[in-house]
């Protein structure tokens, strides 16, 4: 693989230069030339919370990278029961590769900014660039790990443990500070929940009422503080972690 040429910023397309996740997402596998080529076809789009980006069963026309925000992936049974099967954060890749149609539904959970690329364009690029395919394999493996980890939570944990797991998940994924340094100690963790209670319930395989009760229980036990409904403060992440079972 040749030199990435990132030092010469002039070689990087203007639209990509302002992208904060360019190196961490799949575009990190692209050379300046490839970036230039692909950037002719990409569109950066902002969506507000609650927008359905892809629908279950619909044909796939494009893929995307999350630049900012949280996207929830869910499946719905005919009778209306819903299960959230994944949460994706920047700089995750969105879309079922190499498939004609979606087998799940993707909805913005918060305000979101994505960078869309047409299906064929990306697939052609993958065929030519094995580093890109490798990066996509790595992300897919990571998602599989996460899905299996969550299966344990869904199948074997109590309602309280599920809610604690969820808060722990959000706390460690949402605050950028907790990515780099493993020293996630000392100071309070504060964040806004990107999901409604209903979404959380669908993620945990519970009802809203049960989720609400577990929030209350965690609050009365001083493990979390709830300022407004969505705003959460966690005094000690390790104590919360112990609740995860």
Partner DNA sequence: CGCCATCTTGACACGTATCAACAGGCGTGG
Partner DNA sequence: CCACGCCTGTTGATACGTGTCAAGATGGCG
Chain residues that interact with DNA, rule: CB under 7 A: 158-160, 196-198, 205-213, 215-216, 226, 228-230
Least distance CB 197 / a second copy (angstroms):
16
Judged by beta carbon, residue 123 or residue 209, the one nearer DNA is 209
Tell the residue number behind the tokens 């029961």, with chain if given: 81
Which of these ranges, 27-35, 46-54, 99-107, 213-221, lies near a second copy under the rule CB under 8 A? 99-107
Q: Rule CB under 8 A: is residue 124 a binding residue for a second copy?
A: no
C-alpha–C-alpha distance, residues 145 and 139, integer Å: 10
C-alpha–C-alpha distance, residues 41 and 121, integer Å: 8
Angle between helices 208-220 and 159-174 (to 10 degrees): 80
* The total number of residues written for the chain in this structure: 245
Q: Rule CB under 8 A: is residue 130 a binding residue for a second copy?
A: yes
Least distance CB 40 / DNA (angstroms):
37
Residue from the set 14, 40, 148, 183 that interacts with a second copy by CB under 8 A? 148
Complete DSSP assignment for 104-165: SEEEESS-EEEEEEEHHHHHHHHHH-HHHHHHHHHHHHHHHHHHHHHHHHHHH--HHHHHHH
**Peptide bond connecting 91 to the previous residue in cis, omega within 30 degrees of 0:** yes
Least distance CB 136 / a second copy (angstroms):
6
**Residue numbers at the binding site for a second copy (CB under 8 A):** 73, 75, 77, 79, 81-83, 85-86, 96-99, 103-104, 130, 133-134, 136-138, 140-141, 143-145, 147-152, 154-157, 204-205, 245
């Amino acid at each position: 693989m040749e030199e990435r040429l990132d030092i010469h910023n002039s070689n990087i397309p203007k639209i990509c230069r302002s992208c904060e996740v360019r190196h961490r997402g799949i575009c990190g596998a692209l050379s300046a030339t490839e970036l230039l080529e692909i950037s002719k076809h990409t569109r950066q789009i902002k969506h507000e919370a609650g927008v359905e980006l892809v629908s279950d069963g619909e044909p796939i026309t494009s893929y995307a990278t999350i630049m900012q925000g949280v996207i929830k992936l869910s499946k719905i049974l005919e009778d209306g029961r819903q299960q959230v099967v994944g949460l994706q954060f920047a700089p995750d890749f969105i879309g079922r590769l190499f498939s004609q149609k979606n087998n799940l539904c993707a909805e913005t959970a918060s305000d979101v900014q994505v960078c869309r690329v047409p299906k064929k364009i990306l697939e052609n690029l993958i065929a030519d660039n094995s580093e890109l395919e490798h990066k996509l394999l790595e992300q897919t493996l990571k998602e599989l790990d996460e899905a299996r980890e969550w299966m344990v939570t869904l199948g074997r944990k109590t309602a309280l443990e599920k809610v604690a797991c969820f808060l722990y998940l959000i706390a460690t994924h949402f605050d950028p500070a907790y990515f780099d340094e493993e020293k996630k100690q000392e100071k309070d963790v504060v964040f806004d929940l990107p999901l409604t209670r209903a979404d959380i319930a669908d993620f945990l395989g519970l009802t809203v009422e049960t989720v609400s009760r577990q929030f209350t229980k965690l609050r009365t036990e001083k493990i979390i503080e709830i300022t407004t409904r969505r705003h959460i403060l966690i005094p000690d992440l390790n104590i919360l972690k112990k609740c995860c079972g």
